[in-house]
Amino acid sequence: MPRFYLNTDLHAGQTLELPDNIIRHINVLRLKQNDSLILFNGNGKAYPARLSAVEKRRAAAEILSEHTTDNESPLNITLIQAVSSGERMDFTLQKSVELGVSAIQPVISERCVVRLSGERADKRVARWQEIVISACEQSGRNTVPPVLPLISYSQALQQLPDNQTKLLLGLNHACKLNQITPFSDGIIFMVGPEGGWSEAEEQQAAAAGFQAVTLGKRVLRTETASLAAIAAMQTLWGDFV
């Protein structure tokens, strides 16, 4: 059943006009009056609805009920991802949301190819948030992970909570994930850009309480590494088994 995100209050019995972006999807899917859909606004609930009107440039939906669903991962994973180039960053964000991350903190590190600041950075973060919302629509998540404002690597290290397991994908003094016992309060997982972390950055992370972890003997691309590690965490400590 089609699922659409709306940034507004929702409740059973409500009839509301749908925004242009949803109307475009309705037209692409060739939905008609009285067809069913699900709306959500990120509060963890789903709102089954019925299309009460469908026109070329207008659509309205009546919310039939309100459902509380528990489809979030028991792991609270914050992904700190160094910005990668091209579609790699978009792909990483999309798939990490499907895999269950709770929040995404993009950072600029020493070896990042992409450099963003000011208005360009704000626009890119807004675009990334749209990708996250689309991933929630597709994957059935009713809670939308936030994409936090883009900051530097050093800023990210300075504002981390103390009561979470801190893991860094790195090479120096690294252990395997199955050798880690995570804290119940959550996991902070950092992944570098295409060129990886610099030696200085790995040292700074170690000083901030990060444990380096490895995914084996093969060298993985940044977008592969993030997703493989999150999937492994869900298998070891989450809801994949």
Tens digit of each residue's pLDDT (9 = 90 or more) over 66-86: 999 888 999 999 999 999 987
Mean pLDDT in residue range 145-154? 95
pLDDT at 116 over 80: no
Domain 77-237 in CATH 3.40.1280.10: yes
Domain with CATH 2.40.240.20 in the chain: 3-68
Domain with CATH 3.40.1280.10 in the chain: 77-237
Token output for 175: 């252990």
pLDDT at 51 over 80: yes
Average pLDDT over all residues of the chain:
93
Task: Give CA separation, 82 vs 43, 97, 168, 202, 220, in Å.
Answer: 28, 16, 12, 13, 15
CB-CB contact of 45 with 68 (8 Å): yes
pLDDT at 117 over 80: no
Token output for 132: 């996250």
Extract the runs of DSSP E, i.e. beta strands, from 10-164: 15-17, 36-40, 45-54, 59-63, 67-68, 77-82, 103-108, 151-152
First to last CA, the chain: 26
Q: When comparing pLDDT for 241 and 24, which is higher?
A: 24
Q: Which CATH number fits domain 3-68: 1.20.120.420, 3.30.110.60, 2.40.240.20, 3.40.50.410?
A: 2.40.240.20
Closest to 205 (Cα-Cα) out of 168, 237, 177: 168
Task: Give CA separation, 68 vs 44, 72, 142, 163, 177, in Å.
Answer: 7, 11, 9, 29, 33
> What are the b/e assignments for 132-161, b being 16+ CB within 10 Å?
bbebbbeeebbebbebbebbebeebbeebe
Cβ atoms < 10 Å from Cβ of 42: 16
pLDDT at 185 over 90: no
pTM: 0.92
Tokens 């600029």 map to which residue?
A: 108
pLDDT at 208 over 90: yes
Mean pLDDT in residue range 150-166? 92
List alpha helices for 175-221, DSSP H. Answer: 199-207
Tokens 């996991």 map to which residue?
A: 187
Beta-carbon contacts of 164 under 8 Å, excluding residues fewer than 6 positions away, are: 76, 78, 183, 185, 186, 187, 188
Closest to 236 (Cα-Cα) out of 74, 102, 78: 74
